[in-house]
C-alpha cells in the first residue's frame, strides 16, 4: 500500500491527502488496534486481580493500627441498652394485661 501525502509539484503535505491516508490506514488496521487494546486491558485486569488476591498481606504494624482504629470506634452504651430492655418489658406486661380484659364479641351476655 502506498500513501502519498504530498503533491507531485510541491514538497508540502496536503491536509486532504493526510486525512485520506489516515482514514485508509485506520480502515485497514483497526482490528489490530482493538485486539492490542483488548489484550492490554485483559492483562492489566488480570494483574490487578492477582495483586488484590495474593499480594494483599499487611505488616504487623498495619494490622495493629487497624485493630486499634476499629476498637476505639466501638462504645457499648449499657445505660441506653438497659433502658431499651425496660421499655420492652413494660410493653410486654401491658400487652399481656390487655389480652386478659378483652370482651368476647361472639359470646352472648
Which range has highest mean pLDDT (50-54, 69-73, 87-91)?
87-91
Does residue 101 have a pLDDT over 70?
no
Return the SS3 of 16.
Answer: helix
Each residue of 28-53: pLDDT tens digit? 999 999 999 999 999 999 999 998 88
Beta-carbon count within 10 A of 38 CB: 10
**DSSP line for 41-88:** HHHHHHHHHHHHHHS-PPPHHHHHHHHHHHHHT----HHHHHHHHHHH
Quick check: 5 and 18 in contact, CB under 8 A?
yes
Quick check: 66 and 58 in contact, CB under 8 A?
yes
Q: Where are the domains of the chain?
A: 1-57, 62-102
pLDDT value of position 90: 92
Amino acid at each position: 500500500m502506498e500513501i502519498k501525502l504530498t503533491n507531485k509539484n510541491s514538497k508540502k503535505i496536503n491536509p486532504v491527502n493526510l486525512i485520506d491516508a489516515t482514514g485508509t490506514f485506520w480502515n485497514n488496521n483497526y482490528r489490530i488496534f482493538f485486539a492490542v487494546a483488548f489484550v492490554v486491558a485483559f492483562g492489566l485486569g488480570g494483574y490487578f486481580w492477582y495483586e488484590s488476591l495474593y499480594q494483599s498481606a499487611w505488616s504487623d504494624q498495619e494490622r495493629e493500627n487497624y485493630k486499634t482504629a476499629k476498637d476505639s470506634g466501638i462504645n457499648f452504651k449499657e445505660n441506653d441498652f438497659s433502658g431499651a430492655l425496660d421499655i420492652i418489658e413494660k410493653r410486654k406486661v401491658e400487652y399481656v394485661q390487655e389480652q386478659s380484659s378483652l370482651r368476647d364479641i361472639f359470646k352472648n351476655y
